[in-house]
Amino acid sequence: MPEIRSRPVTREALLAELSAFCAECSARGHTEATLSFGWDSELEFHEMWKPYELPISEALHKVEEAEAQGLVRVGTADVLVSVASVELTLCHESDLHLKGEGSLFQAIAARWEEAGLAPSEVTPSNFKWPGKG
């Protein structure tokens, strides 16, 4: 599945892109999303990446609420929002990741290009552990 990443951006830019992603999803008729928190969140490891289903219209608010509660710091903890076949990650390294396919993926990728976020395609690794084939 294709994946792109942006250049590092500010916390405010990460939240603005989450807002734009949610708006684009809503404009395309998507109403539901899955939210989870990953690396560098304040969750126990077994709680990380647990999907939380919610209306797409509440995703930004839930992320801001989690930040206010000290569960995450946007830009230093992974925040993942999935809609249909597309996943947006506000990365712990202060960049954005977009994984997926289809017209929603293409629309967000074009937005990043126009916004000067310098999206680049992630090339899958061909690494194999020695002796594992």
Q: Where are the beta strands (DSSP E) in the chain?
A: 3-5, 32-37, 52-55, 79-83, 86-90, 96-100, 120-121
- Specify the residue for token string 């599945």: 1
Between CA 12 and CA 67 the distance in angstroms is: 13
pLDDT tens for each residue of 13-72: 999 999 999 999 999 999 999 999 999 999 999 999 999 999 999 999 999 999 999 999
Domains of the chain, residue spans: 3-121
> Confidence class of residue 131 from pLDDT cuts 50, 70 and 90?
confident
Q: pTM for this structure?
A: 0.91
